[in-house]
Structures are given as structure tokens and as C-alpha cells.
């Protein structure tokens, strides 16, 4: 999985093609990501009692990683992620401008 939480991505396939958003959650086992405001579905919940009126909730469904492309923080182009090794650390790079790609916030695993 070359994407990280906090990455800016563009949707390249599916119903939200063309939309951009930030990765909220990574689901490595499913090869899916949850992106803020992308792939949302509305679900109508029926009233269960008078105290709980019916409501429409918005669900954000995970997207397959193959449906998204990273947007490089430096050149702002939709790009593929490369990896280079520096002193034993793997660093992601943009294949278009070769800039190193760092995440905007830390991941807690």
C-alpha cells in the first residue's frame, strides 16, 4: 500500500470520478481507502419510535485503491508513487517531479 492517511487523492474510476479528497482511513487488508466526502451514500433510517424519528444518514464507503490516484503535493499533478531508499528508509517520491512525498500527519497503527 503506497498511499498514506492524509494524502490528497483524485478519484479516477467509479461514480465519483474526478473528485478530490484527503484519505481519512487506510484499510490495507481490503486494499481500500476511505476518502473524506467521496463515495458517499445516503441511507434512510425508518422511525423506530416517536422518540427516534426517521432520518437520512450519509455513509462514506471505502474505495478500492485502484480507483484513486495520488495528487503530488509539489507539482499538483495526478501521479504514480515511486519509492527510493535513503539510509535504509523507504521514501515515497512523485514519479513526475521526483519530489519526496511526506504525509501531512502521523499515522497511528
Give the interface with Zn ion as residue ranges (CB under 5 A): 72, 74-75, 94, 96-97, 99
In the bound complex, what is the minimum distance in angstroms from residue 108's beta carbon to Zn ion?
27
Name which of 67 and 79 has its Cβ closer to Zn ion.
79
Q: CA-CA distance, 32 to 65, in Å (whole number)?
A: 5
Name which of 8 and 27 has its Cβ closer to Zn ion.
8
In the bound complex, what is the minimum distance in angstroms from residue 96's beta carbon to Zn ion?
5
Name which of 66 and 98 has its Cβ closer to Zn ion.
98
In the bound complex, what is the minimum distance in angstroms from residue 44's beta carbon to Zn ion?
42
Amino acid at each position: 500500500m503506497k498511499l498514506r492517511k492524509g494524502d490528497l487523492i483524485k478519484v479516477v474510476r467509479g461514480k465519483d470520478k474526478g473528485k478530490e479528497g484527503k484519505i481519512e482511513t487506510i484499510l490495507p487488508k481490503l486494499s481500500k481507502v476511505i476518502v473524506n466526502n467521496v463515495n458517499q451514500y445516503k441511507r434512510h433510517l425508518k422511525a423506530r419510535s416517536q422518540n427516534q424519528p426517521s432520518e437520512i444518514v450519509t455513509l462514506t464507503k471505502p474505495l478500492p485503491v485502484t480507483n484513486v490516484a495520488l495528487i503530488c503535493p509539489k507539482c499538483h499533478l495526478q501521479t504514480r508513487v515511486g519509492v527510493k531508499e535513503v539510509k535504509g528508509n523507504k521514501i515515497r517520491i512523485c514519479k513526475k517531479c521526483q519530489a519526496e512525498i511526506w504525509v501531512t500527519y502521523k499515522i497511528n497503527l
